[in-house]
Structures are given as C-alpha cells and as structure tokens.
Amino acid sequence: MRLLASLALAVPLAVQAAMGPDDARHLLNRAGFGATPREIAEYAALERTQAVERLLAGTGGAAVTAPPQWVREPITPPRALRGATKEERQAFLAQEIGRSFDLRAWWIGEMLATPSPLTERMTLFWHNHFVSSQQKVRYARLMYEQNVLLRRHATGSFAALLHAVARDPAMIVYLDSASNRKGSPNENFAREVMELFTLGEGHYAEQDVREAARAFTGWSLDLDTGAFRFRPFLHDAGAKTVLGRSGNFDGDEVLDILLAQRATAEFVVAKLWREFVSPEPDPQAVQRIAARFRAARYDLKVALRELFLAEAFWAAGSRAALVKSPVDLVVGTLRALEFQVGDPLPFALVTAGLGQNLFAPPNVKGWPGGEAWINSSTLLGRKQFAERIFRAEEMPRMAPAAARRPGAGELGRAPGFGRMGEEGRARVLRALGEIHFDPQRWLGAFHAPVSQADLERALLARAPIVALPPEATPRETIRLLALDPVYQLK
C-alpha cells in the first residue's frame, strides 16, 4: 500500500511530458464531443496538466448561438387556457411542440458550435441530474430558461446550482412544488432532492422526506409570468427535524443541511466519475475527491480537475470503457469529422430515436446511460446513422421517404415527429440537404500518405474488432471504423 502511494506521488513527475495523440484523443473525447485531427495534434503537444487547465479555463457560462426568437415572448398563462376553446388549446399545444423542436435543434447547434464542449457536456450532465421534461412542464420557454441556468452554473458551484434549481420554474412544475402547501404537502420534490440530487438512496429516512416537504411549502410560480414566487401564506413555518437537525427551516436551510452532508459530495463525485472516468467508481478516490470538493465549497472545477488528473482516468483499463450516449455519438461524429451542417434539427431527432430526446428524459432519474444505451434496437439505429451520414449521396434519396411516412426510419421513430406537420417535415427535408462531409479536406489534416493506423487512432478508443481490408481506401476506412463496435465506446 505504501509503495503504491509513493508511486502515485511520483506520477506528476512522469507526466511532465507531451502526452501524445492517444492521450489527447482520450481526454478530448471524454471532456467534449469528439475531436478533430487538428485538435488532437494541438493537445498532443501539451502535458496532461496543461491540457486539463486549458479545458477548464475555456469553460463559460453562456451559449454562443442565438436562441429562438420566442424565448423573449411572454408565456400563455394557464388562466388564459382554462377559458379557451378546444381549438385554441390545440393551437397552444401545437405551438409548444413546434417550439420544442426549435429548442432541441438550438441546443444541438450550440454543442456543435461551442468553443468549450466541456461546458455543454456539463450542461447535459446537469440536465440528466436535475431532470425536468417538457412532457410535463409543457412551456418550452421554461425549459429554455432552465437550460440557461444549468449552463450558467455548469462548472461553477454545485451549491449555488442546487439552490437555483430548487426555485427554477420548470423544476417547480416538474416536481409538483406548486401544489406543495401547508397542511397538504406534496412530497415529490423533497423526495427527489434527497434521493437523486444530493444524498442518494439509503442516506435519509421517510420521515426526513416528510419534514423537508413542509420546509418547501409555498415555493411556487407566478401563474401569469411563469416566474418563481414564494407564497408565505402557503408556507409551513413550524418546527421540522431533518437529518437530525431541528428548527423552523425554510427550503434554503434544508438545502444547506443536505449540502453539509458528506454523502452529497460523494454522491455527486461518484456520478461525475461514471460520466468521465469509468463505470465503476473507485470508492477511496471518490472519498478523497469529494472531501476536496466539499472543502472548496463545491467548486466543480476542483472536482473536474481531480477527476481528469486521476490515475484511473488515464489507465489502460479505462479506455473504451464508457458507452457513448446518443448525443455523444451524433454530435461527436459531426464534430470529429468536421461535417458542415445547416439546421441541426435532424440530429435532435436522431438522438431522440436512439433513446435520448433532449428536454424530455424518460423520468426524474434521467437516462440510465452506460450499457443501457445499447440494445438490439438502438445498436441497429446507431449503425444506420453511421451508414447514412457517410454516404452523403444517399441523403437526398432517403430523406423524402422518411419525411413522407412518419413511423418509418429512425427520424420517424423520434417522439413527436408525426406531429410536426407539413412545415416541420419540410424543414427536416431541407436540413438533410445541407449536411456535407468533405473527406479530402478532413484527410488533409494528416501527414500524407494517411495510413489506416492513423485513422484508427483518430476515431477509435482501441483497435477495431473487425479487421480492415488492407485495400480499403481512406474514405472507405472511415466508414468501416464508424461501423465497428468499438466506435460506440470512448
């Protein structure tokens, strides 16, 4: 044990060298979405610590692409809908469905355009941690605002993020906080904040849920504007006991009690570990990183730095150990191969068809991820995506069929596609025509002549399973590598 510890101390000396292309690809694929040959070459010349510092320093709190126009428009208040005719209500639903397509396309576009993929990866991580779904929230604008909030705090303070999320209007709708009132508590938020957002199952009792629910009573919405509003008359100001502490707590005080628990830091760090390092967190390393994370007042950059520089992150056994999420696969492919795309909407539909419908996770626990991403149905869908994307000449031929018959093909499988209407389908059709891959330009980033080994190293986390025919051209090699089982891993 002592020998191991001294070896670990010696590591910083050993990494004071350029990390090379394999490590660069590994880091960029894990911390972002895919990496171009130029990015890999650039990072290959850095030391590991330099590279990690550069990624962290590049994170930002705001999107670089303009959001849809309607995010600045007032919402249609529920009051207005109550008196509405059936047609008016249907028009409202159709409008919000249309907006949900705008929103998903916008976020995929941001992931493609961002100078800091780590920021978007963390925003997506929080979307899957502090889950809300437009299926229940209905208002696309509230979903947009939650996304802005998650990005603002994406690599900042987890404590600040938790407090902000608890009063986020989309969350208030999603977990029924608005119907949590003095004398008739609704436990939904209080339970999930403990089970899924902070402590994790097994670190609290049913009684803690009941008491905490009382502390959150009165946290509500202004039904006209959709903004957070505290309603003192609905708040239960009486004494509560949560996790052994007693007082006339309000919601913020309960959140602080949760943040003071060691279990919270460990729960979040273990989840970050599974996101970035490997499917099985090392309990000792998690405890060590969690202690520093908590001591640094939940500064997420402290946790991320520790995770990216952990020995386990770079270990051979951690390579090709994580399954790419649908967003990873789709955005990563487009970024790594420098596809030119116009309207990103088709890609939002593809990720939805593969099981990851942005702004609509399946339930409050989010997408289970990992191996659960891959089953016979989604694996086939992933391969079909790869087949299509690399055969640009097939796109225009396939698109009309997919668009004409909702229910056919992976686009048709995407939730809501059947309700897009003629206009929406025309939009998808147009967008499909704007996708372009230029193999000559992409291959130009390699030293000529480019070998199959160069391409494997750029695109795969380990050697392919299916042997490449030696006579395959570089362009054919790219396609075969994207169909290899290893391409689903990172």
Point out which residues bind another protein (CB under 8 A): 176, 179, 181, 183-188, 191, 195, 201, 206, 279, 317, 319-323, 355, 363-365, 368, 370-372, 374-381, 383-384, 387, 408, 413, 462, 465-466, 483, 485-486, 488-489
CB nearer another protein, residue 41 or residue 374: 374
- Residue 264 CA, chain-centre distance (Å), reads 20
State which residue, 321 or 428, has the beta carbon closest to another protein. Answer: 321
| Contact between residue 334 and residue 294 where contact means Cβ atoms under 8 Å apart | no
Closest to another protein by CB, 292 or 479: 479
Q: Whole-number minimum distance, CB 171 to another protein, in Å?
A: 15
Are 60 and 116 in contact by the 8 Å Cβ rule? The answer is yes
Q: How far is the C-alpha of 210 from the C-alpha of 57, rounded, in Å?
A: 42
**Dihedral angle over CA of 353, 359, 361, 365, nearest 10:** 160
Q: Select 383 or 430, whichever has its Cβ closest to another protein.
A: 383
Spatial distance between the Cα atoms of 332 and 8, rounded to a whole number of angstroms: 32
Nearest to 433 by CA among 476, 479, 382, 398: 398
Structure tokens at 160: 């600040």
* Least distance between another protein and beta carbon 316 (Å): 10
Cα–Cα distance, 304 to 269 (Å, whole number): 9
Closer residue to another protein in complex, CB, 245/462: 462
- Residue number with CB closer to another protein (7 or 372): 372
Residue 384 CA to its chain's centroid (Å): 23
By C-beta, is 187 or 256 nearer to another protein? Answer: 187
* CB of residue 306 to another protein, shortest distance in Å: 23
Q: How far is Cα 302 from Cα 435, in angstroms, rounded to an integer?
A: 39
Kindly state the tokens that stand for 231.
Answer: 């309603």
Cα–Cα distance, 168 to 220 (Å, whole number):
10
CA distance readout (Å), 197 to 165, 169, 194, 266: 10, 17, 6, 12
Q: How far is CA 300 from the centre of its chain?
A: 16
Min CB(183)–another protein separation in Å: 8
Phi, psi of 407 (to 5 degrees): 105, -10
Token representation of residue 242? 């949560």
How far is Cα of residue 57 from the mean position of the Cα atoms in its chain? 20
Structure tokens at 368: 């289970």
Question: What's the closest the beta carbon of residue 116 comes to another protein, in angstroms?
Answer: 27
Instruction: Write down the residue that tokens 């249309």 correspond to.
Output: 98
Closest contact distance (angstroms) between CB of 391 and another protein is 13
Of 163 and 274, the one with the shorter C-beta distance to another protein is: 274
Report the alpha-carbon distance of residue 422 to residue 418 in Å, rounded.
10
Q: How far is the CB of 376 from another protein (least distance, A)?
A: 4
216 vs 298 by CB, closer to another protein: 216
Euclidean distance between CA atoms 382 and 379, whole angstroms: 5
Is the omega angle on the peptide bond into residue 469 within 30 degrees of 0, that is, cis?
A: no
Please report how close the Cβ of residue 206 comes to another protein at its closest, in angstroms.
7
Rounded distance, CA 402 to CA 425, Å? 9
Burial readout 362-371 (b: 16 or more C-beta within 10 A, e: otherwise): eebebbebee
By beta-carbon proximity to another protein, the closer residue of 63 and 330 is 330
| Nearest distance from C-beta of residue 237 to another protein, angstroms | 18
Helix, strand, coil percentages (3-state) for the chain, rounded to 5, are 60, 5, 35
Residue 390's contacts (CB-CB under 8 Å, 6 or more residues apart) are 437, 478, 479, 482
The nearer residue to another protein, 80 or 466, going by C-beta atoms, is 466
For another protein, the closer CB: 151 or 191: 191
Q: Indicate the residue among 102 and 195 with the shorter CB distance to another protein.
A: 195
Minimum gap (Å) between residue 257 Cβ and another protein: 20
d(CA 318, CA 282): 12
